[in-house]
Amino acid sequence: MSTRNEHSLPGARPAAAGERPAVGFIGLGDQGLPMATAVAEAGFPLHVWARRPASLDGLRDVPHLSHGTVQDMAAACDIVALCVSTDEDVLHLVSGGLLEALRPGSVVVNHGTGTPANARRLTSVCAPAGVEVLDAPVSGGRPAAAERRLTTMIGGPRAVAERCEPVFSSFSRHVVHLGEAGAGQTAKLFNNALLMMNQAAIAEIVGLTAELSLDPVRLVAVLKLGSAASSALTLLNTMVTLDNVDHLSSVEALDMELFDAAMRDAGLDASSVTARGLKGAHGLPGLLRRLNP
């Protein structure tokens, strides 16, 4: 069963040539909600499904059509975007009703962070049904999603990426196709690993301030203004706060585990990078507390 909000959409049907594709969205969380909102505000017919009806409240001011089942939503869409926590969640949704209802030629897009191996697995699962797949993880967090300035990193067929690019551009400042299935996830894991390695370096520098009687807060403020500036520095006390730092630290550690698994799958020894990234992830709460005495 499908329900319409006060800004309801016309009845769903496959997009004709020249029409905007109907976009399905699952995963209306901290980052997914502003992404879905951007899709609707850009004029794409937006279809959504959520396990918890309360998750739909954030869409009440934009046109959308909510569906009672994954199958109903999938049948109405040309592109289905997934912004959920894990590869296992993605595969469960696809095999649990999404794939059976999608038309051949439809596209499944995974915006979450996962491994390249699972991106290739998802492609193999969907291929017999004639459904295309893109791994398209995003970087920037909720603030960038709300301001439509995410970076979207794409793996999968270039022609399919070009078809979906107008949708991605609704919430992205940069949309980059990097190669075949898994390339987007590889880029995202490298992005995350380098961020955490930078955090480890910042923590080491800040740690030296105690030996030199320097104010770490003032030091970091001036480093943000100089050639040492980086996203890792800029995020401290902006997106990374005392309220969320412990949660972010645990999420970062999980991302480094994904990085390590991806490198081992590729036959690479990246243990030094993994160790450095984990040091940055685990040290983040202590670093932030030193900057908030």
DSSP per position, 84-131:
-S-HHHHHHHIIIIIHHHSPTT-EEEE-S---HHHHHHHHHHHGGGT-
Q: What is the CATH number of the domain that holds 28?
A: 3.40.50.720
Judgement on whether residues 195 and 151 belong to the same structural domain of the protein: no
Whole domain around residue 248: which residue ranges? 187-290
Specify whether the CB–CB gap between 242 and 228 falls below 8 A.
Answer: no
Q: Which of 180, 203, 234 is the last residue of a domain?
A: 180
Q: Which two tokens stand for residue 225?
A: 């203004």
Judgement on whether residues 146 and 232 belong to the same structural domain of the protein: no
Judgement on whether residues 229 and 285 belong to the same structural domain of the protein: yes
Q: What is the CATH number of the domain that holds 239?
A: 1.10.1040
Q: Which two tokens stand for residue 97?
A: 């009703």
Judgement on whether residues 17 and 57 belong to the same structural domain of the protein: yes
Judgement on whether residues 155 and 199 belong to the same structural domain of the protein: no
Judgement on whether residues 87 and 27 belong to the same structural domain of the protein: yes
Q: Which of 147, 180, 213 is the last residue of a domain?
A: 180
φ, ψ for residue 50 (rounded to 5)?
A: -145, 145
Judgement on whether residues 246 and 265 belong to the same structural domain of the protein: yes
Domains identified in the chain, total number: 2
Q: Which of 123, 146, 180 is the last residue of a domain?
A: 180
Walk along the chain (293 residues) and give the pLDDT tens digit of each residue. Answer: 444 443 444 434 455 556 899 999 999 999 999 999 999 999 999 999 999 989 999 999 999 999 999 999 999 999 999 999 999 999 999 999 999 999 999 999 999 999 999 999 999 999 999 999 999 999 999 999 999 999 999 999 999 999 999 999 999 999 999 999 999 999 999 999 999 999 999 999 999 998 999 999 999 999 999 999 999 999 999 999 999 999 999 999 999 999 999 999 999 999 999 999 999 999 999 999 999 99
Residue 118: Cβ within 10 Å count: 23
Q: Which two tokens stand for residue 102?
A: 């999608």
